Structure 1
Amino acid sequence: MDTHARNAKWSKGVPEMDVLSLAEQEIVCNKVAKQLFAICVTVVTLILIAIIAGMFEYPWLLDYMTDTANTTNQNLSTAHSQAGRAGGTIASLTHMLPVLAVMLIPTMAVFYIIKKPLLKRETKKLVEEKLAATPSTDDVLTSVYWEFSNQEYMSNDAFTLDIINYIENNKANWNPNGIAINSRKVCIV
């Protein structure tokens, strides 16, 4: 899966990411991927530590792990070809499956449970950083008066001329080359 496909897939259920550009979505997804990797490695490590501690506490768990290791080694040592080793691994899989399940199921659960909250948090951080870096636009386009109509304008110059001619004060307050709102989406009420 390439980064654009991952960005699209990860941002699907996160409406907060709709305001971000593709590059910003990639930044958020990369940060979250690194965080998820660190968290999942930590979870697997804690599970391994719990299994090892359990082997000291419960002799049956030590016997099970020893039996699993012996079965796997025996299946692999009797196979003398690459196909035989693959068969030995598959034969040993029934012994290894419970151990893999104990390690993978909680790790995958943690991954899917915290992925969206992490994406939302990182998106919020990025948006707040952008807002902090952007000058305040509380008084954007104040004292510019205009009555909307169905007329279509073929150029910015024609629209600017009509705005300036609409009311004399518009000439001093209208800046057609300035950025009024630095956003991909705007809701005008």
Structure 2
Amino acid sequence: MNNIDNNQITNKVFTIPNMLSFIRILLIPIFIWLWVNERNFPYATLVLFVSGFTDVIDGFLARKLNLVSRVGKVLDPVADKLTQAAVLLCLIFEYEYLIAAFILLAIKELILLVLGIILYRKDKTLIGSVWHGKLAAIMVYLMLFTHLAWGIWAEMPETISLIIVSITMGMMTFSLFLYFKHYLELIIKAKEKPASS
């Protein structure tokens, strides 16, 4: 697991990765406007593609340029989840069963938020993104992008849509289980530290 200690991250706010995360947040209302008001599916799809691309770039730059920051550790996942939630909410009007994916996403993030706060208060530890979390995020973006891109020409066939959604939700559930297990292990270890010293 990719745990990040306080002395490994910076207090800088205005870093390139953080600016890219801010841009992703600013793209959310643009996407909603294009999708809901303009019904401009091609440009809405392009906005999501740009958002996903900046997500990849900001993570790469943060690691390569040693620009991992406290603000970024919060801002990056917030930008991701707000984007995913906004796109899902828009797509629910076209594919009602996507509400199940939205509810799972909300539950997953709420559980991880609570566990993250508990762990940080006990051990000042931040959990970085790991392989299953990254894979789940990629699959969510692919699910959203395929539904958007397909919708440019016609509504995606329900069978294909349900297969994609089911696989994605399965990966989200698997990732939640692994995160939950790891958080509990770290919280238990943090509780045992004073007793062993």
Q: Which has the higher helix share?
A: 2
Higher-Rg structure is: 1
TM-score normalized by the length of structure 1:
0.30
TM-score normalized by the length of structure 2:
0.29
More RCO (CA 8 Å, sep 6+)? 2
